[in-house]
Amino acid sequence: MRNERVLPAGKRAIVLLSGGLDSAVTLYIAKSKGFECFCLIFDYGQRHKREIRAAKKVAGATGCKYEVIKITLPCKGSSLLDKKINIPERANGQTGKRATKIPSTYVPGRNIIFLSFALSYAEAINARAIFIGAHAQDYSGYPDCRPEFYRAFNEVAAEGTKSGVENRDIKIEAPLINDTKARIILKGAKLNVPFRFTWSCYRGGRVPCGKCDSCYYRAKGFKEAGIDER
């Protein structure tokens, strides 16, 4: 992303790319809107590197430039960061009801941190949009996946950046925010997203565990969409 020609305002976008299904669909949506996309992939000390490899594959499939940002979250506080904390498993027959409390897979302030990096990048390369694949439905109750959070962060971006005070706002785009997993998958299928490259499991084994929330919602989404992910 360094030493790039500055394009006219509105032509560039930063895409937060995790390697999961949602962020892959979001990247393809951004490209379909005519943006030149620059992907940020975060190595933040997560339990495994499988999702980072997946993100690189997805970026490669689109021909988009990407950069891996390595950061350390020393306080941990999440089962995705601390291997001493067990990943929650979905019991056999348990329905897909929204969680009543925030699960241990929540990483404190993760999307605030990621969006702050993306906002800095966006200003530096004259990008006018940041895309993130968050969605509020069929999810685990994370507070940083709610529409209210993104409305508030857009206000922060407008008030706390040079671009914002000069009326060149950098917009945070969460195009999947109100979609179900099935609808996200259907959107991705129309855009020819290579789902086979994506990784959703909270564990990093050779194959998905099939027991964590992320595996459950992925499988449920493909079934409801009537699409074979293979």
Does 141 reside within a domain? Answer: yes
Does 122 reside within a domain? Answer: yes
> How far, in whole angstroms, is CA 190 from its chain's centroid?
19
In this structure, are residues 50 and 19 in contact, taking their beta carbons and an 8 Å threshold? yes
Domain count, the chain: 1
Does 1 reside within a domain? Answer: no
Question: Confidence class of residue 75 from pLDDT cuts 50, 70 and 90?
Answer: confident
> How far, in whole angstroms, is CA 22 from its chain's centroid?
6
Claim: this prediction has a pTM higher than 0.85? yes
Does 21 reside within a domain? Answer: yes
Name which of 99, 79, 97, 24 is nearest 209 in CA terms. 79
pLDDT digits (tens, 9 = 90+) for 137-160: 755 678 899 999 999 999 999 999
Name which of 215, 31, 24, 42 is nearest 138 in CA terms. 215
Does 5 reside within a domain? Answer: no
Query: Looking at residue 142, which CATH number applies to its domain?
Result: 3.40.50.620
Residue numbers of the domain that contains 189: 12-96+105-225
Ranking 1-5, 10-14, 73-77, 157-161 by mean pLDDT, the lowest is 1-5
Does 174 reside within a domain? Answer: yes
Ranking 181-185, 187-191, 207-211 by mean pLDDT, the lowest is 207-211
Does 113 reside within a domain? Answer: yes
Does 230 reside within a domain? Answer: no
pLDDT digits (tens, 9 = 90+) for 18-72: 999 999 999 999 999 999 999 999 999 898 899 999 999 999 999 999 999 999 9
Sequence-separated (6 or more) residues with CB below 8 Å from residue 57: 19, 194, 197
